[in-house]
Amino acid sequence: MNHTSTKLHLGAAYYPEHWPEARWPEDIRLMREAGFTVARLGEFAWSSFEPTENEFHFGWLEQAIELLAKNGIASVLGTPTAAPPAWLTQKYPATLAADENGQRYEHGKRCQYCVNSPEYHERSRNIVSQMAEHLGANPNVIGWQIDNEFNTVCYCDTCRAAFQQYLAKKFESLESLNENWATRYWSQSYTSWDQIPIPKAGHNPGLMLAFQQFITQSFKKYQKLQVDLLRARLPENVWITHNFMGWFPTYDHYELSADLDLAAWDWYVGSGQPDYTMTGATHDLVRGFKRRNFWVMETQPGNVNWSTVNNHVNQGGIRAMAWHAVGHGAEALLYWQWRSALNGQEQYHGSLVDQSGQPRPLYAEIAQLGAEFAKVSDLLAGSEIKAKVAILNDYNSRWSLNWQRQHQDFDYVAHLQHYCKPLAARNIPVDIISADEPLHGYRLVIAPSLVILNPERTAHLIEYVKRGGTLILTLRTGMKDANNSLLPLRQPGELTEIANVEVEEYYPLDTPAPLSGRMIGDSFSRLWAERLRILDPELNTLAVANYGQKNGWLDGQIAISYNQHGKGGVYYVGAYLDEKAQAKMLEHICNIRSIRPLMDTPPGVEVCQRVTPQGEKIYLVINHLEVAAKVSLPWAAREHLSGFTGKGALTLAPYGIAILTKDA
């Protein structure tokens, strides 16, 4: 079922269990006056739901849901399993996760459970079943969130035994495992499954990758336990999600998202002010988990409590952040949290209402946002992002590269974002998707550091190019197989068929390497350089850029190539370009592929586009600057927040917003 919303939602995480019931009407009045349409409840309330084992109290939550509904506010319920009660961890100590040294975590944190604990599975099954029985049919509940921010990796004996069982199923025989991991190296060969450790530091790359995949499957299994319990009791129109954490590295988000109805994430800036060219990439990432619109289940109301400097976002910046998220496909924004808790580890985290119960100064900005959401909700209903560019993301390649960087500053996500940023600055929409997703419909596909290749993925990319697509391959592509073993081939592995180049050698750089070419001008490669060799000179493969004088090994060698193949073509970018050259290269390639900016704007002004089911294009123009900015409109427009119609120039106030359609 498609769970795309018919309206924009604005809300917050609300914890009525923290406050006297007599206070609830005032909280909810303030929510209503701010234009809230949704609240999230319950995700840390296990001790309030089940104060002692098998004694359940849901009446207070039912009352809160009813009071919210009377004020036009729907509820999203969180299963409370991220924060087990003290009686549970005392009676079942094996439910607590163990760190790398085998030390059990203490009660009083969150997400401190062992994800593979049979006892924890049973207690989770019990509380979720009880919640679903009491609240599953409540017409005022529109969705459920499973747990909260999965994150803790456990190293206990239960997890080690489960990992060994996982390996036995995956490889079927120790001979196969030993062969795939090349365990003759350092006499690592295993003769019994129970000899295999959980890797706690640098270890065999095959073992490390298998353990990371096991972590993914452990969280997926635990999540599915809850999903299945809820699905059996919920109406079809009630969705299920989990609140991910953007680029969080511990598990494969595509795997976990497969069992969910929609993707959601928790968006925090931390110190400084948001950089829209970077945060937009994270929204695009989360949208790609399900390849449809998503929810921002938590975002900061002003400031956080955990960063190096917990500054507030500038006045107007929170409103701009919200519209920026909507421009990238968000259907809802919920602030964390509604009111400051009087105690607990997050006392100083930002909120909309302070500890005294009075609205903070930011409340007025949120109320303005609520009015604006209501005004254009119908206009945006059912609209989605349509991109002509896809950037491929692969967790296995990310893990493999980051464990063996060869240059301390070479980071997989930073390299991927190096391709996102110049496209965002030019107002070119991007989808960030799994490396194994279908690619039809994209004019350009970028595959940053696709270290790990398997036959299916290779065939997938070759077919895309043959059918007319343009593919950009980058540094370190095609070094490893699916078990994190080096391929017995030069880079980019079997993709040499379409690239017609191989990497003769790679060079981690202590100083930048100069290079030049018509497409990029005079530039340099930082961190990394690869020396390319054309395989078949009869194919007229182009040397797009060459290195200058550098260490003798790179002097005059090919840095970037282009090869036409079938109806499409492949760029191999063997250099880590500086920002200016990176922007030039992508602009050149986009122009060749007829990929145009949505609108030309001054730096700091973003344009996003959402397309309705009827094909109408809606443009969200967002000034991310502290000063006013002028935008030249390419056509007569109607602005839906102010009612302005006209053409020519549009002046946006600092952090100003315009929602435009073409005026007939």
- Catalytic residues, by residue number, are 149, 298
How much of the chain is helix, strand and coil, in % rounded to 5? 35, 25, 40
Q: Which amino acid is at 629?
A: A
Nearest to 394 by CA among 440, 436, 446: 436
Residue 142: Cβ within 10 Å count: 20
Question: What is the rounded CA–CA span in Å between residue 301 and residue 50?
Answer: 31
Tokens of 427: 């107002």
Phi-psi region at 493: left, alpha or beta (left = phi > 0; alpha = psi -120 to 50): left
Structure tokens at 490: 């030069």
Neighbours of 195 (CB within 10 A): 11
DSSP string, 84-120: --HHHHHH-GGGB-B-TTSPBPPTTSSS-B-TT-HHH
**DSSP letters spanning 469-498:** -EEEEETTTT-B-TTSPBPSS-TTGGGHHH
Closest listed residue to residue 212, CA positions, set 412, 490, 446, 402: 402
Six-digit token string for 180: 């795939």
Q: Closest by alpha carbon to 290, among 264, 326, 309, 327?
A: 264
Report yes or no: 522 and 516 within 8 Å, Cβ to Cβ.
yes
Residue 579's alpha-carbon distances to 62, 298, 421, 584, in angstroms, are 54, 32, 9, 9
Give CA–CA dist 549/412, Å, rounded.
Answer: 27
CA–CA distance, 512 with 580 (Å, rounded to integer): 14
Which stretches of 533-592 are DSSP H helices? Answer: 579-592
- Helix or strand holding residue 637 (H, E): strand 629-639
SS3 327: helix
Q: What is the 3-state secondary structure (H, E, C) of 4-71?
A: CCCCCEEEEECCHHHCCHHHHHHHHHHHHHCCCCEEEECCCCHHHHCCECCECCCHHHHHHHHHHHHC
Report how far residue 457's alpha carbon sits from residue 339's, in angstroms, rounded to the nearest whole number.
48
Interhelix angle 157-171/174-181, rounded to 10 degrees, is 90
Q: CA-CA distance, 573 to 447, in Å (whole number)?
A: 10
The pair of three-digit structure tokens given for residue 176, joined into one six-digit string:
């196969």
Strands 617-623 and 605-611: antiparallel
478: left (phi over 0), alpha (psi -120 to 50) or beta: left
Tokens 């005079």 -> residue: 522
